[in-house]
Amino acid sequence: MGHVPHIKVDVQRSVDMTYQEKFCTCSQAELRAMPDGVLDKVKSFFAALTMDDAWTPVRDEDGEIIYGVLASGMNNLNLSWWPHLFAR
């Protein structure tokens, strides 16, 4: 079994403040160390964390891009994070 990276877990409330999402922050290097396909799936669903300009990616001390990934993965998605999709 390969190296299991240390992953930081944070909690953030949904837009309507009723549900707490737990998410992990992982560097691209940590994701590359995981089984084949994990990095591709993360990149296809989650965006890299960005600086205040909403464009420049956040990087760790080694220069690796940081991704925020829901602790539940893609198995439990809370749609209250995207209220604009349901606005009338």
pLDDT tens, position by position, 32-79: 999 999 899 889 888 899 999 989 999 999 999 999 888 777 666 666
pLDDT tens, position by position, 10-19: 555 555 555 5
CB atoms closer than 10 angstroms to residue 5: 14
Q: For the residues 22-26, what does the mean pLDDT come to? A: 84
Structure tokens at 19: 């549900």
Phi/psi for 22 (5° steps) reads -105, 130
Nearest Cα to Cα of residue 28 among 45, 40, 16, 14: 40
pLDDT in the model for residue 3: 45
* Buried/exposed code over 50-79 (b: 16+ C-beta within 10 A; e: otherwise): eeeeeeeeeeeeeebbbbbbbeeeeeeeee
pLDDT in the model for residue 73: 72
Q: What are the C-alpha distances in Å from 35 to residues 5, 8, 65, 86? A: 12, 19, 18, 36
